[in-house]
């Protein structure tokens, strides 16, 4: 287990556990039973599935093994709410989760309360370091699903002709697109990857040296106004800008603009968790794929940073930005004259394939399936988004998605050679 994450005795682990559990329920609270059951595409999971799966995680990896006499809440839930852990048995097909009308949201709530009571009993007794480490992993896992819950319900609601709002949280006032400024970095051998006693996922390890050539890093994320110029210049119709597989995807999916954008009477609009709104030229562009980010960078005469460059650039900043705690649920324009840290608002695509660091070793056992087995056909994103729970991120955090994925809160910063 110590190979998967760094563990340390944490006297606040109980408080953090219950805070995470409460936040998930708070995020689900605005949604009806019907809202929580819909699956709008295979990559989306119903809200009630997220609530049940995060509960299954604690039940399976902590209570079943570490609380004497514990009996599973329901004998079928292990099959219904397993995601991809082959080591603990079969699972219901992901693309069919929206067909499961029962259990309903009240039964899921009872499941969560039952497991929380059992976790209270577990945490009231002596808790060794390995148990603390698993609880921490479960908290971090639930935080990931809190972001997924918001990503997924946004897609669900966007498919409804009424275009209903998830929440009344408003968007920031309109701002001009601005122009990028750059910070330069000297070449050298740098250390990247997690170090220290705090939590990290196994894919952030081990810390290791990399050579980084001289480069410049944009101090601002690419904005919607800049993206409009890309669209107006025929960016989605110019094959010379696109990777081959990206161009094939543009053609087959008929992409003409970022996900959730639409144009009415010559004005761009986008769907947000607060409902439809006009596109704000000054906000970071969001919901673009790796393919789109790469094409934009080529159109702009620059490129995407490698994840090593991103980490070097981010290491001079504290982890501070627009996260879920600010309750905007949408990217926010940078203030006048500000130089925002590269955290929050939107995840940023890098040009780096998601692959193991030199010396990477997944943890033994089923929890070792958490990251390592996905190290193929994915690209790394860095930085977090406006729906990432506060306190969940580190400079070394590696997110990853397939290059065609768009429903995540993804954008980009540019880099260039010196």
**Taking a C-beta distance cutoff of 8 angstroms, is the pair 401, 377 a contact?**
no
Residues 50-87: tens digit of each pLDDT: 999 999 999 999 999 999 999 999 999 999 999 999 88
For 263, list phi and psi in degrees, rounded to 5: -125, 125
**Taking a C-beta distance cutoff of 8 angstroms, is the pair 82, 91 a contact?**
yes
**Taking a C-beta distance cutoff of 8 angstroms, is the pair 332, 274 a contact?**
no
Please name which of 187, 181, 189, 170 lies closest in space to residue 222, comparing C-alpha atoms. Answer: 181
pLDDT band at 411 (very low <50, low <70, confident <90, very high): very high
Q: DSSP character for 153?
A: H
CA–CA gap between residue 132 and residue 183 (Å, rounded): 41
The predicted pLDDT at position 299 comes to 98
CA torsion, ordered 148, 149, 153, 155, to nearest 10 deg: 10
First to last CA, the chain: 43
Residues 102-112: tens digit of each pLDDT: 999 999 999 99
Q: Are strands 410-411 and 347-353 parallel, antiparallel or unpaired?
A: parallel
Q: What is the mean pLDDT of the chain?
A: 93
The predicted pLDDT at position 9 comes to 42
Check pLDDT > 90 for residue 363.
no
The predicted pLDDT at position 8 comes to 34
Concatenate the DSSP letters of all residues of 210-230 into one string: EEE-SEEEESSPPBHHHHHHH
Cβ count within 10 A of residue 234: 10
Residues 240-276: tens digit of each pLDDT: 999 999 999 999 999 999 999 999 999 999 999 999 9
The predicted pLDDT at position 168 comes to 74
Lowest mean pLDDT among 170-179, 183-192, 204-213: 170-179
The predicted pLDDT at position 338 comes to 62
Q: What angle do CA 304, 323, 119 make, to 5 degrees?
A: 120
CA–CA gap between residue 231 and residue 233 (Å, rounded): 5
């Amino acid at each position: 287990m110590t190979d998967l994450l760094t563990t340390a005795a944490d006297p606040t682990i109980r408080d953090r556990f219950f805070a995470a559990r409460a936040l998930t329920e708070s995020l689900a609270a605005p949604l009806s039973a019907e809202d929580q059951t819909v699956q709008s595409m295979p990559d989306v999971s119903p809200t009630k599935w997220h609530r049940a799966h995060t509960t299954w995680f604690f039940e399976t990896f902590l209570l079943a093994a570490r609380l004497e006499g514990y009996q599973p809440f329901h004998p079928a839930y292990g099959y219904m709410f397993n995601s991809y852990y082959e080591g603990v048995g079969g699972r219901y097909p992901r693309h069919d989760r929206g067909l499961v009308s029962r259990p309903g949201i009240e039964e899921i709530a009872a499941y969560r309360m039952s497991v929380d009571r059992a976790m209270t009993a577990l945490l009231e007794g002596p808790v060794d370091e390995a148990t603390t480490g698993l609880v921490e992993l479960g908290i971090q896992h639930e935080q990931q699903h809190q972001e997924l819950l918001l990503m997924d319900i946004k897609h669900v609601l966007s498919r409804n002709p009424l275009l209903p709002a998830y929440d009344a949280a408003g968007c920031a006032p309109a701002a001009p697109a601005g122009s990028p400024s750059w910070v330069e970095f000297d070449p050298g051998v740098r250390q990247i990857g997690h170090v220290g006693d705090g939590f990290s996922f196994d894919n952030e390890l081990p810390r290791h040296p990399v050579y980084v050539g001289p480069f410049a890093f944009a101090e601002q994320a690419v904005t919607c106004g800049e993206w409009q110029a890309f669209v107006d210049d025929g960016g989605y119709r110019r094959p010379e800008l696109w990777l081959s597989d990206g161009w094939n995807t543009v053609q087959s999916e008929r992409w003409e603009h970022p996900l959730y954008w639409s144009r009415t009477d010559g004005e761009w609009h986008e769907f947000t968790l607060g409902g439809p709104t006009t596109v704000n030229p000054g906000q970071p562009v969001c919901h673009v794929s790796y393919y789109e980010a790469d094409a934009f960078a080529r159109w702009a005469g620059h490129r995407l940073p490698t994840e090593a460059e991103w980490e070097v650039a981010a290491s001079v900043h504290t982890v501070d930005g627009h996260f879920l705690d600010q309750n905007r649920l949408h990217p926010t324009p940078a203030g006048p004259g500000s130089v925002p840290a590269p955290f929050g608002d939107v995840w940023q695509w890098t040009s780096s394939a998601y692959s193991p660091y030199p010396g990477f070793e997944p943890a033994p056992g089923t929890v070792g399936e958490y990251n390592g087995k996905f190290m193929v056909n994915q690209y790394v994103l860095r930085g977090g988004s406006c729906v990432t729970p506060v306190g969940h991120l580190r400079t070394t955090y590696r997110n990853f998605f397939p290059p065609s994925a768009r429903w995540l809160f993804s954008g980009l910063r540019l880099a260039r050679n010196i």
